[in-house]
Amino acid sequence: MPLSGAGNRGDGRRPWPEDEWDGGEEALDALVAQVDAGRYDAPPEDPIEELLGWIADAAAGFAPGGMAEGMGPGPVLAALVYGAAGEDGKGLAALTGDQLLGLAAAARRLESRAAWTQLAAVAEFAARRAAGPPGPAQFAADELAAELGLTWQAAADQMAYASALAVRLPRTFAALAAGKIHPVHLHIIEDETRVLSDADAAQADQELAQAAPGMTWGQLRYAAHRLVLRLDPDSARRRKEAARNDAHVRPFREQSGNGGMIGRELPADEVLASWQHVEQRALDLRAAGMAGSLRELRVRAWLDLLQERDSRSTLAAQSGAGFADAGPEDGSPDAGSGQGVSGPSGSGGDSGPSGSRPAGTCPHGAAGGNTSPSLAALVTITVPLGTVVGHSAAPADVAGFGLADPDTARDLLAAAIRDSRTRWCVTALHPDGTAAAHGCAAGRHHPPAPGGPGPPGPGAAEFLAGLKIRLRPVIRGPCDHGQAEDGCRPSRALAHLVRARTARCAAPGCSRPAGRCDLDHTTAWENGGRTCQCDLAPLCRHHHRCKQAEGWSLQQPEPGVLVWRTPAGRTHITTPTVYDV
Of the candidates 452, 451, 468, 469, the residue with the CA atom closest to the CA atom of residue 460? 451
Q: Whose CA is closest to 267, among 448, 385, 415?
A: 415
| Neighbour count for residue 234 (Cβ, 10 Å) | 9
Q: Are the C-beta atoms of residues 322 and 313 closer than 8 Å to each other?
A: no
- At CA 449, angle to CA 445 and CA 455, rounded to 5? 100
| Residue 283 CB partners (closer than 8 Å, separation 6+) | 294, 297, 327, 335, 336, 337, 375
Q: CA-to-CA distance for 268 and 253, rounded, in angstroms?
A: 8
DSSP structure class, residue 353: P
List, in order, residues 6 or more apart from 247 with CB less than 8 Å away: 296, 299
Residue 316: predicted pLDDT: 67
Would you give the DSSP letter of residue 357?
A: P
- Mind giving me the DSSP string for 85-139? H-GGGTTGGGS-HHHHHHHHHHHHHHHHHHHHHHHHHHHHHHHHHHHS-HHHHHT
State the CB neighbour count (10 A cutoff) for residue 334.
9
- Give the distance, in angstroms, between the CA of residue 423 and the centroid of all CA atoms in the same chain: 30
Residue 224: the pLDDT is 94
How far is it, in rounded angstroms, from Cα 425 to Cα 445?
11
What local confidence, expressed as pLDDT, does residue 143 receive?
A: 95
One-letter amino acid of 67: M
Q: Angle 198-211/170-177 helices, nearest 10 degrees?
A: 30
Q: What angle do CA 559, 564, 565 make, to 5 degrees?
A: 145
Our CA dihedral for 338, 341, 342, 348, rounded to 10 degrees, sits at -10
Determine which helix (DSSP H) or strand (DSSP E) holds 53, and give its type and residue range: helix 47-56
Query: What amino acid is encoded at 545 in this protein?
Result: R
DSSP 2-25: PPTTTT--SSSSPPPPGGGGTTHH
pLDDT value at residue 30: 60
Question: For the whole model, what pTM was predicted?
Answer: 0.67
Q: Which run of H or of E encompasses 241?
A: helix 235-244
Running along the chain, 581 residues long, what does each successive block of 10 average in pLDDT? Answer: 35 38 51 54 51 62 80 88 86 89 93 96 95 89 94 95 94 95 96 94 96 93 92 88 81 80 78 88 91 89 84 71 35 30 39 41 42 43 80 79 81 76 84 90 69 50 77 91 90 93 94 91 93 95 94 95 94 92 70
Residue 385 in contact with residue 458, Cβ under 8 Å?
no
Q: HSE on the CB side for 424, CA within 13 Å?
A: 28
Task: Give the per-residue pLDDT at 440.
Answer: 86
Q: Yes or no: say if 427 and 434 are a contact pair by the CB < 8 Å rule.
A: no
For 294-297, the CB contacts below 8 A with 24+ separation are: 294/373, 294/375, 295/248, 296/247
